[in-house]
Every structure is written in structure tokens, then in C-alpha cells.
Structure 1
Amino acid sequence: MSRTLVIGDIHGAHKALEQVFDRAAVTTNDKIIFLGDYVDGWSESPEVIDFLIKIKDSYNCIFILGNHDELLLEWFKKGIPNQEWLNHGGKLTSEVYSSIPKGKLQLHTQFLENLQNHYLDESNRLFLHAGFTSHHGVSREHYTRMLYWDRTLWETALALDENIDTDHPHYPKRFTVYNEIYIGHTPVTRIGETTPINKANIWNVDTGAAFKGPLTVIDADTKEYWQSDPVHLLYPNESGRN
């Protein structure tokens, strides 16, 4: 039976990625949607990209662009690191990539260049890294970078009165465009959680793998989920982005 599996922010945690693939018993029959931020945090960002490149032809994968992925790609192309990127996990990533052969760098650059800004499935479920601001949805978003930088979608969902009906004039119009919206980007550890959190029709699958949380895979149909060990336990000699 085919499943639609959604994987939250990985942030260089290759060991955690292998764990959740095993624990979710992922097969080539599944559709696997990665929500972005494959790099920055732990020391195995190149290994994560290698893993994704390896499976992309044999598995049914959708790879979404995250803001950290964009920053890494920018560094690959310009050779000048963004200071914000260095301060938020990019320093370690730049160090581990310094010993990567040129041929592999080209493959990783190509992979990052081909990432999608979003994915909309046949059930009108939207998958993207961060959010959007347009009341009409992603097709009318004027600033494409918002799709992998915006936090207001999730912040609005957290602040929303749960008793307001969808037809209420104060209900956020952008929430009504899609049946469900799956995001990462803003870790739920900020609200003291380590499992996928649902607010309104939005599912946040970033369970803090860049910090002390686990990496998560969720079945978009059944809402069953699988998690790695807390990632910092898999990298005991590293601090991640803590």
C-alpha cells in the first residue's frame, strides 16, 4: 500500500535520517516528501545530500527547498559566506565541505538547484518549507523567498482562536485555500513540543532535529508518525545549533 510520508527538517543529521527510514519502514511504493533544510546543525550535511541523491531515482521523492539549503547553494556559487548562515549552522557545514572533492560538490550543487519551492498533491494538500502570505495561496505569492523564510503562517495558526469557524470574517483567508498545509522551518520545540503539531489545517513537522529534538516522518493520510532518537544523542561530541 502506498503512503504519503512527510519528513521534517534534517539539518545534517544523517544518522537520524537513516533511523527514521528504518523505523517508518519506507519502501519504494511510498511517496516521500522532504520539507527542506537538509543541512546545517550537525556534521553530516554532505552525507545527508549523498543519501538523498542516492534514493531519488529509486524512490518516489519530492524535495522541497529550505532556507538553509538556499544559503548553502549561495555559498557554493559565490564563494562568499553569508554571516547569518555562518551563525546558524553554516560554519560547521562550510568546514566539512572544505574537504569534499570537486566532482561531488558539483553533484550537490545540481541537487540544490533542482529543489522545488512547494508541492501540491491531488488532495489539495500543500507541502512547503515555511509559509506564504498571499490570501490566494502560493501561486500568487509575490516574494518567492517567503515560501522558505516566512514564519507568519505558523505564528498565525498558533494565535488563532480555535472556536472561530472557517467562514468567520476574522478567519485567515490563506488557511482556506488548501485542505491541509505541511511545513517545517519553525521548530515546535519553541512551544515545548517534540512531536508533529496540528493547528487549524496546518501540520508542523519540524520537531527540532537541529537542536535536541528528534527527526520526524509523518504519514499524511493516517497521521501516524515515527521519530529518530533525540538527535543530540546520536552526535554526543557535537553541539548542533544549541
Structure 2
Amino acid sequence: MRTLVIGDIHGGLHALHQIMERAKVTTEDTLIFLGDYVDGWSQSPQVIDYLIELNIKNNCVFIRGNHDELLLHWLKDSKDNLLWYKHGGEATVNAYETVNLETKQRHVEFLQSLENFYLDDQNRLFIHAGFTNMNGVDFEYFPKLFYWDRTLWETALALDKNMKPGNLFYPKRLTLYNEIYIGHTPVSRIGKTTPVQMACIWNVDTGAAFKGPLTIMDVDTKEFWQSEPLDLLYSNEKGRN
């Protein structure tokens, strides 16, 4: 029985199928999805359908991503958001043109059910983006930061590698949990295409929204499996810039 964490999918159903096959996922595995199931590639509705069905067979944890929240607002309120369109939303809006009302309602229910974070019994935190409260997620005043914050990852990147926990200047946020698993900020920004560890943080967003692969990782062994780069799987699409 494994605990597997999955990075940002961004509408890439082909990639999701690949990592499930390559990791040889079974119904005995617990699957923790870090959010951003939609926006970018053309199969966002199909990704949500797949996850809903997967949850029937597997023990799944679905974390809320910022793109998932943006889609929920659009499905419920039909509000135009030009900034969202430019960052993957346009592909999603186009994909929903052929989706019936019953399916849209099922997707709304799924999106509303997403978790802001998950803390397991080994004090490992799974969250889409981060948090800012110095005492941890249970004390966060602004829940939207769970799926929008980038300062947690930026702090870990900037940390002096010689500084150890216990140092007066060591960031308190990086001492609260044994490990923190995030997505949201692609590691391609620092020239990587595989999961990156900084301090206690593992970033599993390997750039599937752009030209990177999708990743699934065993949180106990740190073994991981990846899809082909998404721009190759969707070579007839422009994707996100």
C-alpha cells in the first residue's frame, strides 16, 4: 500500500493516464492530488470525469488549486475573467461547450468538495500553494492563500543551505511539518523537470501546464514516474505561454 502524490494536471488527461500506468497504480494505493486539475490543455472536463470515477475505486484526496476555484466561479456564476482566459481558462471554456448541464452540475459538486489542505498522521502537509501564518495552516486568516501563496516556496528557495532548524533566523513556517508537498509554482522556473526538495518542501509541479511532464511520486520512497512532456502529447494545441 503506497501513498502517491500527483502534481498539477492542467487538463492533460493523456498524461494522467500515462503516470497511472507507469506507476502501476492499484486500488490499494492512496492518491493525493495537489490541485489545478484544469486549464491549459483541452481535456479539463474529461480530467474531472476521470477523477470522479477514480474516487469510487481508490482512496483519494483532492486538494483545491487556484485554477479549480476559478473554474468553479465560472461554472456557477458565468462570470467572464479575461486574466483567467489568458492563463489557461480559454481552453477550458472551449472544452465545456460540448458538456451538458447534468455533467456541469456534477463538476460543480466535485469542485466544491475539494480540500484546502491535507495533513496526514505523519505530520506531512499536502497543499496546493502554501500558507503565511507562522503557526501553520490551522491558524491561517486568509484561506485563499492555501491555493495562491508563493512565498512559502520562495522562502525555501532563498534559504541558506547551511542554516539549520533551531537557528534564530530559520523560517518558522519550515519547522512546523515534517514534510510539505506543493504544486502551483512549476519547477521549470528554476530549470528543472523533476520534483525538487528545498528544506522540508517537495515541489511536485513539474510544468505540465507548459512543456513539462506530469509527475506522480511515492511520498515514502521518493520514487517518481512521469508522463511525456505535455506539449508532445498535445502537439496540435498551443497550450499555455
Q: Who is 2:204 aligned against?
A: 205
Shift of 1:240: 1.1
1:131 maps to what in 2?
130
Once residues 55 and 239 of structure 2 are traced to their aligned partners in structure 1, the CA distance between those partners, rounded to angstroms, is 27
Residue pairs, 1:154-193, within 5 angstroms = 154-193=153-192
TM-score normalised by length of structure 2 = 0.99
- For the residues of structure 1 that align with 2:11 and 2:79, how far apart are their CA atoms? 21
Does the alignment pair 1:29 with 2:48?
no
Q: Show the counterpart of 1:150.
A: 149
Query: Counterpart of 1:44?
Result: 43
Counterpart mapping for 1:9-88 below 5 A: 9-88=8-87
Question: Which residue does the alignment assign to 1:116?
Answer: 115
CA distance in 1, matches of 2:220, 2:150: 25
Deviations 1:28-85 (A, max 9, x none): 1111000000000000001100100111111010000000000000001111122221
Match of 1:240 in 2: 239
1:65-117: CA deviation from partner (whole Å, max 9, x where unpaired): 00000000000111112222111000110111021011100100100000000
Query: Which AA in structure 1 matches 2:111?
Result: L
**Aligned partner letter, 1:3:** R
3-state DSSP class of the match of 2:20?
helix
The alignment's C-alpha RMSD in Å is: 0.5
Q: Deviations over 1:170-225 (max 9, x none)?
A: 10001111000000000000000000000000000000000000000010000000
- Rounded to whole Å, the distance in 2 between the matches of 1:150 and 1:82 is 20
SS at match of 2:181: strand
Identity %: 62
Instruction: Quote the Cα distance in structure 1 between the aligned partners of 2:194 and 2:158.
Output: 19
Q: Give the Cα–Cα distance (whole angstroms) in 1 for the partners of residues 126 and 225 of structure 2.
A: 18
Q: CA deviation at 1:239?
A: 1.5
1:62 partner amino acid: V
Secondary structure of the structure 2 residue equivalent to 1:9: coil
**C-alpha separation between the residues in 2 aligned to 1:136 and 1:239?**
42
Question: TM-score, normalised to structure 1's length?
Answer: 0.99
Please say if 1:230 is aligned against 2:234. no
The Cα of 1:148 is off from its aligned counterpart by 0.2
CA distance in 1, matches of 2:91, 2:223: 33
- Unpaired runs of at least 5, structure 2: none
- Distance (Å, rounded) in 2 between the aligned partners of 1:20 and 1:101: 29
Please, which runs of 5 or more residues in structure 1 have no aligned partner?
Answer: none
- Counterpart-to-counterpart distance in 2, 1:130 and 1:183: 6
Match of 1:90 in 2: 89
Question: How much does 1:228 deviate?
Answer: 0.2
Following the alignment from structure 2 to structure 1, what is the Cα–Cα distance between the partners of residues 239 and 139? 36
Q: Which amino acid aligns with 2:52?
A: I
Decide which moves more: 231-240 or 121-130: 231-240
CA distance in 1, matches of 2:67, 2:131: 17
| 2:89 partner letter | G
Secondary structure in structure 2 of the residue aligned to 1:57:
helix
Structure 1, residues 138-170: CA drift from partner, whole Å, max 9, x if none?
000000000000000000000000100100011
Separation in structure 1 between the aligned mates of residue 67 and residue 164 of structure 2, nearest angstrom: 36
What number of residue pairs does the alignment pair up? 241
